[in-house]
Structure 1
Amino acid sequence: MAGEPQSDCLFCKIVTGDIPATIVRESETTVAFRDINPQAPTHVLVIPKAHYPDAASLAAAEPLIAADVLREAGLVAADEKIVESG
């Protein structure tokens, strides 16, 4: 079910702490963490704490949480000093 943690979802396991991650920011609705296999010098993923299969599903069901993800991505970019390049 959308929004509910999924036992087979890597991101859900990061949100619950079952899989360790280097958390760089956390809000009530999101978690931002460093990618374990970075494809750039700074590679941080920002995900909703609620499970959705994709961004379109999240936006349709929870537009405020989708906005939170985008806002947190901007804050991560500022924290990482990559606003202009990232």
Structure 2
Amino acid sequence: MGQLCCFPFSRDEGKICKKPVGIQDLINEALQRERMGLKSKVKEIKELLLKPETQAKIRRELFEGRLNNYGNKANDGDFSATLT
């Protein structure tokens, strides 16, 4: 009366899920989700940086920064003082 089926199961066959879920499995799954999210954000940033408007804005800001630094000699002295 103890046996419900006429075929005995081995220990592996009787389990409902194939592999027990352990802490390391949960950590690996969380890390995989985190990596996928970060890869998605990096892809968005790359696409944004490739846009002509973004590149023009970056060039404009860099160029204006150089003009300001060259025009004001006092800033050059302050900059070199902060490096040492």
Question: Smaller-chain TM-score range?
Answer: under 0.3
Bigger Rg, structure 1 or 2: 2
- TM-score when normalising by structure 2: 0.26
Quick check: which one's strand share is greater?
1
TM-score when normalising by structure 1: 0.25
Q: Which has the higher helix share?
A: 2
